[in-house]
Structure 1
Amino acid sequence: MTKHVLITGANRGVGLALVDTYLSDGWQVYACCRQPAQASALQQRQQQHPALTLLALDVTDHAAIAALSQQLADISLDLLINNAGYYGPKGYGFGHTDAAEWRKVLEVNTIAPLKLAEAFYPQLSRQHPGSIACLSSKVGSMTENTSGGGYIYRSSKAALNSVVKSLSNDLLPQGIKTVALHPGWVQTEMGGPNALISTQTAATGLKQVLDHLNESQSGTFLDYQGNVIPW
């Protein structure tokens, strides 16, 4: 039986690599981004893969999330990957935090994943329990924050980790597993040219972790190699 995955922020970076990885394994992939008509890489893949469906979604538009869930009401999701993310400003320091940008980052990184989980819960629980993966970041670890700074992005991912923990507590009794995943320092627009791994390495590792995810790992924080990251 064909498996189904919905991926947000699928037009570039790790999201696009995840699309490739799941398509190559025979999954039906629902790829979401804000402007599919301008997502040339996704359009090229759609021409080659009938199992790829492109969907327009701004993850900060909660009405649009609800409408998309209605559009996909008849499918059964095996996996929801909350990949869409926004870093916000770089290079600022203490005393120069842009509160408006902070709110924008929280909308994308923290609030949207919960709203998507709420909206697609019916699809995740329809036939057999699915899983929810939220792309977090090691910089959201309290334990590993030894350098300070990065207030906006760090706090958004630390808050996302809390959302993941609560989702796991609420949904695991129904068999739905939820996990926070650190993709590694990836060579993307966000990660920059000095990053250590390719998007494909990250996506392959993330899929392997999710393929073998068990109930005891629900509500945990793992990297793309399956190692536990301290809160």
Structure 2
Amino acid sequence: MPMPTVLITGANRGIGLEFARQYAADGWEVIATARQASPELDQVAARIEQLDMQNLDAVVALGSRIDRLDLLIANAGTWKPEQAQTAEDGRAWAAMLVTNTVAPYLLAKSVLRQVADAKGKLMALTSGMGSIGESSGGYAPYRSSKAALNMAWHALSVEAQRPGVVTAVLDPGWVKTRMGGANAPTPPEQSVSEMRALIERLGPDDSGGFFKRDGSRHAW
């Protein structure tokens, strides 16, 4: 019986690296993507693919180099620009949408057959800030990119349902990483451990859902 395989994007630091560490420790084969590798990632990943999520040709081509896959964790993302007031901000916002929304969706499509063969799962990391129902305003670029990711993943869930693939978007919470900052209350080890437990128990009836890491649902 081959060991299960997980593909994790943006795995050179933060939440992505912690996912790689934990899955490797549990005997999974970890395929990791990063714009730049790191010594920590070298120690846990069975295979590292250099990948910039802005390069959509490379994103789409990655699936053809993966033979089997049980789980995708689309983790890579950016949070800048924080606000949009200038034309330059607008161009950065458009680039953010590519990284946070378009690229993860295209990557998921590129590996859908392999994940379907394994009856596996397609997971994307989102944010509670992408909830329109719970929005407190501000950070329009980031919020909109995550709301768009949620919609794209929900649409993906309809297509993935027939071959038996479970999909979901997961909110890791406010995590102490470079993106989350030093004031964040949750260490990455805790956030990832709780998300892994959630991923494990998600089934077909949950597919297409928008979940907090404890398994409760966000409002869309």
- Classify 1:45/1:176 alpha carbon distance in 2 versus 1 (closer, same or farther; 3 Å): closer
Render the CA deviation track for 1:31-67: whole Å, top value 9, x for unaligned: 110122xx12112335xxxxx2111111221221233
Render the CA deviation track for 1:178-230: whole Å, top value 9, x for unaligned: 10000010001111111110111111111100011111111010011111111
CA RMSD of aligned residues (A): 1.4
Equivalent position to 2:95, from 83, 96, 104: 104
Equivalent position to 1:150, from 117, 135, 139: 139
Equivalent position to 1:63, from 46, 57, 63: 57
TM-score w.r.t. structure 1 length? 0.90
CA distance in 2, matches of 1:70, 1:166: 22
CA distance in 1, matches of 2:209, 2:139: 23
Which residue of structure 2 aligns with residue 180 of structure 1? 169
Give the secondary-structure state (helix, strand or coil) at the position aligned to 2:7.
strand
Alignment of 1:45-124 (within 5 A): 45-46=44-45, 52-72=46-66, 75-90=67-82, 92=83, 95=85, 98-124=89-115
CA distance in 1, matches of 2:94, 2:48: 28
CA distance in 2, matches of 1:155, 1:66: 23
Question: Which amino acid in the other structure matches residue 7 of structure 2?
Answer: L
Identical-pair percentage: 39
Question: Which amino acid in the other structure matches residue 154 of structure 1?
Answer: R
CA distance in 1, matches of 2:135, 2:29: 38
CA distance in 1, matches of 2:86, 2:74: 29
How far is 1:121 from its partner? 1.4
Structure 2, unaligned runs of 5 or more: none
Which residue of structure 2 aligns with residue 209 of structure 1? 198
1:164 aligns with 2:153: yes
CA distance in 2, matches of 1:193, 1:59: 26
Question: Which amino acid in the other structure matches residue 89 of structure 1?
Answer: P
Give the secondary-structure state (helix, strand or coil) at the position aligned to 1:17.
helix
Which residue of structure 2 aligns with residue 15 of structure 1? 16
How far is 1:122 from its partner? 2.1
Q: Is the Cα contact below 8 Å between 2:30 and 2:44 reproduced in 1?
A: no
Render the CA deviation track for 1:66-92: whole Å, top value 9, x for unaligned: 3322222xx2211011000000123x4
Runs of 4+ in 1 over 4 A off after TM superposition: none
Aligned residues: 218
CA distance in 2, matches of 1:103, 1:189: 22
Render the CA deviation track for 1:133-176: whole Å, top value 9, x for unaligned: 00000000111112x11110000000000011101111111101
CA distance in 2, matches of 1:16, 1:58: 16
Which residue of structure 2 aligns with residue 49 of structure 1? none
TM-score w.r.t. structure 2 length? 0.94
CA distance in 2, matches of 1:196, 1:168: 32
